[in-house]
Structure 1
């Protein structure tokens, strides 16, 4: 923290008293009687109360926390062990104190209260400055009410953690209050559908309060791996502070940088570490010939050189542990380091190349906060001009071809770094990640088997996902047939072959046969020609949805099956034509059949136009996908009419 800032802060900050906090042991009858959460039945536990109250004292932010949890099922007993994590560092940046805890269990309507002593509260050093207090509630039973409170003092008042309203189990009442002072001016950063549309807000005399009620549990859902980006929360970033109070009015100092200043600080950091090269790299340092070809040719050669000759390990961050020369010598580094090394190589060739800082999916935000603070960014992209064309480049995935960007980096925007001109820019990475499946179905009269010859063409990121699945099987010495064994449990899988054309044609092909053994031994041959689809099983089975459905990108899957009707058989039954969507048409499905004499053709197509579907449309989407899965699993039936 700036010393001048700290001095004036200590001189100017008054002591602000807390509002009244909930009291331990004072339960409502509803809390005592509660056995199940009406809007989330089956919940193992519930936060009856979650409360935080913050105030400034000298140059420290103090927050009083109070929690009341009720155990609803046997599984809920896990909440009898509570961790309280904090960062102490080497200077006690955060200090947790005044921990109190008690457990109340009712037997025949009579409360038994146990106040926890020091033997039930202990501290653990997690390393690297992180510590944790652990509270262990004794004899927790279904119906027990657990309460604990503590105080945390935080010296870092430049960015305030604020409050997250949701927890891993339902929350009936979640409240956060902060008392601001006139000598500090903060930007409030709110997030979440509930926070903006359902919260009870109050403001007066520098006291700000938010309350949310009846919140669903915070947990992963199908097609939403980055739910942390949608959590209801409020945070604060220091914007400016008062350095003096004069007769002509207060004097202020800006604390929050401009985008340009923030960018210049990062550029200086990268320059000192050698990543902003202006002269060619020595051949003995970089055993790579980039003297010929277009800028795109050079960029591709350099990309594959780093991807295939460097070890990609470590956490993807915007800061580096190595300089460019060290990286080129060690030939290993974290994804962010490899990205900057790649930038250094491109710049040494006179190619225009700039980093773009992004907040990746799962980092905690669904949108960029529109004022400059660094905490919202955690990973790097490169924006490169190749032969006059701009292109985003990434080195996060060791299997990805040139031009692919990790899906977690497909975000709305980022901070483009350029000397004296850093700014926010939109990120729009377009691709056609589709899937085409062709199936030829015929009866082998010699063996009596029904043979389905399948060819799958996976494009772009669908292909990359398939490449990763194959790599996993190969690394574990498992047969490729396992790619399909779960979907075809009644069929024999054989002759699986893969053809990796991602680098040349952005396509990854897989072919295989699925065989219904001894099909001719029955008068009715019943089979499903389209069960290969991952949507043959409805992924949306839960009754409610907390977060949006995120398919990650727009795509379509097209399935074409040609059935050769064998001699002596006729079509007995098959699915009818259908075309469905949901309101707004973000997703659609069609299924059609065509009888061409000896050939019976089935075509199905699923198209996702808008990959992010709000939770308010979940009911429609669930019904839609149930219809899709029913159609994709509907059988075709061949009936014997004569013996050939």
Structure 2
């Protein structure tokens, strides 16, 4: 009997520990836990993650969206302190309508001398700021953090934007022990449910009822004075409640060459499809891609801006008056916009005011590229805008306006050639979009709102051809000259890093990148001539580039330029590898060995290929007399490599890294 009582007591204790998530009721067991029970490598974990989003009727404003948040997080290590800072992004419209965050409460709990202590988040620790014209921010960091702390906070967001419900995120970079979430909407709002990620998420659906009470005020007129009276009326309606319950959700860990890890994070997005209020017509929002594109095109800040010409007409007439060739006209107008209007950093596919942007010489991505499209059309070219979701914004898998946050320009020339243009970046050229815009497919919007898909990834390789002539002395110091030729996205990336940088700082970073490389006579050619490749050259000295053991010298034929680490470390990867663009890197080395040495051995030639021509590696070293010639080439022929080939890609990198590490052996004569 005593044993049974003990077992029942233990069961009750464990149950209480795992299920009591009332705000402020943190247990000693939670504070004593030193390692996450579901992921021993975790620096922090959500012990409890709660979100409730619902519609509430405001007599003065109509329906509003309320979201209640309650999070409890365990901090295991100092690296986990990052999860004690919370940024709340609040949207606002140009008209002044905005979201608000309120009822912010938080505590940090620690275990000191066997007792639970709590430190309150004070008002002075909560900071509010205007991030930009569209976003306000509320930010706080929980106080008195230590490894082992448990933090807890809650708040409420009230939003007037009933058409925009924030995504329900069910997976983070740290594990979640218990998650509860719910979404409740009245019958007047019909939402599509879009899910993504590899974690299976199925809601429980309930039907509920609600009532709206309207109060009407009357003023009667009488000889002795008026009297105010009130009457109430009620409207009953139904609500749909979706509830989510998850436990022991694993962390989603990022890895190199992912366009956006958010594309693969388990989540649910409620997208407003249509509204139907009593005695009103049905209003659709995003039922199909045709609906989405039509609503975007019909907006005066999109389709309307494409028809405005008066503000640029005289300038474009003067620019192209003597030019009839369509390709030349395209480049003149493209370069004119890049020079005339500077990007202000704001993303978006709607224009704010193209006329003002042109006059003030600064504008958003919507201003600049819709302006470019309008100018090209005015010049008689077949041009259309292309809706894009940038890499960090995710991939729009379902018909949604919110899936896009950017726009570029498509133009088709009479000879059938097609070009994608983005004038927000002064170093872009046709079909070389900024890296942020290389994200699967864009949706081209033709005149009058027709649409179709277009691949955003380039087909032409971006090259980096490296030539090195060097000599190595008997102490292992390498001295020589370096030259590289970069094309397409490799050239664009270099120009972005180099042209606007402090040149001394740029060189210092380059030397530090190669751990003490000494550079002199550094030169860059064609840094502003976008029609030509980037040509970079310098002289260098690098010590300790060989191991000297007895009468032998050992060194890698690629020296400091060899690849040292495989970027792919996961055993299994469920999401694609996204390189952004196809590429080739080639090395040509001519190495003079020190006097008094001869070549004893060199690595064997090697060649390997990825399946389906996805990539290749070629390696050859030839030695003769006091000279060694090295030729190495690595190619990735597809911007995207699907998970099916992940193991092959990982092994490909392992093999060529091993090959590049093989050493040349010299022996004293």
Q: CA contact under 8 A between 1:435 and 1:458: conserved in structure 2?
A: yes
- Equivalent-residue separation in structure 2 for 1:551 and 1:321 (angstroms): 33
The 1:502/1:218 distance shift into structure 2, 3 A limit, reads: farther
The 1:557/1:84 distance shift into structure 2, 3 A limit, reads: closer
Deviations 1:443-487 (A, max 9, x none): 799x99865443322221112222333324xx4142875575245
- Equivalent-residue separation in structure 1 for 2:527 and 2:90 (angstroms): 49
Please name the residue that 1:34 is paired with.
33
Please name the residue that 2:151 is paired with.
146
Residue 571 of structure 1 deviates from its aligned partner by: 1.2
The 1:23/1:425 distance shift into structure 2, 3 A limit, reads: same
Residue 135 of structure 1 deviates from its aligned partner by: 6.0
Residue 275 of structure 1 deviates from its aligned partner by: 5.0
The 1:52/1:271 distance shift into structure 2, 3 A limit, reads: closer
Q: CA contact under 8 A between 2:590 and 2:629: conserved in structure 1?
A: yes
SS in 2 for 1:575: coil
- Equivalent-residue separation in structure 1 for 2:604 and 2:117 (angstroms): 65
SS in 1 for 2:157: strand
Q: 2:64 aligns with which of 52, 60, 68?
A: 60
Residue 238 of structure 1 deviates from its aligned partner by: 1.6
Please name the residue that 2:45 is paired with.
46
- Do structure 1's residue 281 and structure 2's residue 310 form an aligned pair? no
- Equivalent-residue separation in structure 1 for 2:126 and 2:509 (angstroms): 48
Residue 593 of structure 1 deviates from its aligned partner by: 2.8
Please name the residue that 2:466 is paired with.
437
Please name the residue that 1:530 is paired with.
558
Residue 346 of structure 1 deviates from its aligned partner by: 1.8
- Equivalent-residue separation in structure 1 for 2:285 and 2:639 (angstroms): 38
Q: CA contact under 8 A between 2:464 and 2:487: conserved in structure 1?
A: yes
The 1:337/1:585 distance shift into structure 2, 3 A limit, reads: same
- Equivalent-residue separation in structure 1 for 2:185 and 2:506 (angstroms): 61
- Equivalent-residue separation in structure 1 for 2:173 and 2:201 (angstroms): 19
Moved more, 431-440 or 222-231: 222-231
Q: 1:497 aligns with which of 500, 506, 523?
A: 523
Please name the residue that 1:264 is paired with.
297
Residue 519 of structure 1 deviates from its aligned partner by: 10
TM-score by length of 1: 0.79
The 1:453/1:571 distance shift into structure 2, 3 A limit, reads: same
Residue 552 of structure 1 deviates from its aligned partner by: 1.4
- Equivalent-residue separation in structure 1 for 2:297 and 2:545 (angstroms): 71
Q: CA contact under 8 A between 2:473 and 2:594: conserved in structure 1?
A: no
Moved more, 66-75 or 171-180: 171-180
- Do structure 1's residue 243 and structure 2's residue 277 form an aligned pair? yes
Residue 384 of structure 1 deviates from its aligned partner by: 0.8
SS in 1 for 2:348: coil
- Equivalent-residue separation in structure 2 for 1:43 and 1:502 (angstroms): 47
SS in 1 for 2:496: helix
The 1:138/1:336 distance shift into structure 2, 3 A limit, reads: closer
The 1:135/1:526 distance shift into structure 2, 3 A limit, reads: closer
- Equivalent-residue separation in structure 1 for 2:149 and 2:159 (angstroms): 32
Please name the residue that 1:292 is paired with.
323
Please name the residue that 2:236 is paired with.
none
- Equivalent-residue separation in structure 2 for 1:626 and 1:454 (angstroms): 26
Deviations 1:147-176 (A, max 9, x none): 233333333221211312234543333332
Q: CA contact under 8 A between 1:165 and 1:175: conserved in structure 2?
A: no
SS in 2 for 1:353: strand
SS in 2 for 1:269: coil
Count of aligned positions: 605
Please name the residue that 2:420 is paired with.
392
- Equivalent-residue separation in structure 1 for 2:488 and 2:87 (angstroms): 43
Q: CA contact under 8 A between 1:275 and 1:341: conserved in structure 2?
A: no
RMSD of aligned C-alpha atoms? 4.3
Residue 323 of structure 1 deviates from its aligned partner by: 3.3
SS in 2 for 1:465: helix
Q: CA contact under 8 A between 1:439 and 1:561: conserved in structure 2?
A: yes
- Do structure 1's residue 233 and structure 2's residue 302 form an aligned pair? no
Please name the residue that 2:198 is paired with.
193
Q: CA contact under 8 A between 1:242 and 1:251: conserved in structure 2?
A: yes
- Equivalent-residue separation in structure 2 for 1:438 and 1:180 (angstroms): 64
The 1:40/1:630 distance shift into structure 2, 3 A limit, reads: farther
Residue 48 of structure 1 deviates from its aligned partner by: 0.9
Moved more, 175-184 or 394-403: 175-184
Q: Which runs of 5+ in 1 are unaligned?
A: 1-19
- Equivalent-residue separation in structure 2 for 1:92 and 1:450 (angstroms): 64
Residue 606 of structure 1 deviates from its aligned partner by: 1.9
Q: CA contact under 8 A between 2:444 and 2:454: conserved in structure 1?
A: no
Deviations 1:100-131 (A, max 9, x none): 54444334654x26484875775735475865
- Do structure 1's residue 338 and structure 2's residue 368 form an aligned pair? yes
The 1:541/1:295 distance shift into structure 2, 3 A limit, reads: same
- Equivalent-residue separation in structure 1 for 2:51 and 2:111 (angstroms): 27
- Equivalent-residue separation in structure 2 for 1:279 and 1:137 (angstroms): 52
Q: CA contact under 8 A between 2:31 and 2:149: conserved in structure 1?
A: no
Residue 178 of structure 1 deviates from its aligned partner by: 1.9
Moved more, 428-437 or 313-322: 313-322
- Equivalent-residue separation in structure 2 for 1:348 and 1:222 (angstroms): 43
Deviations 1:375-401 (A, max 9, x none): 222211111122242221111221223
Please name the residue that 1:156 is paired with.
161
Residue 299 of structure 1 deviates from its aligned partner by: 0.9
Q: CA contact under 8 A between 2:305 and 2:370: conserved in structure 1?
A: no
The 1:327/1:36 distance shift into structure 2, 3 A limit, reads: same
SS in 2 for 1:398: coil
- Equivalent-residue separation in structure 2 for 1:152 and 1:579 (angstroms): 59
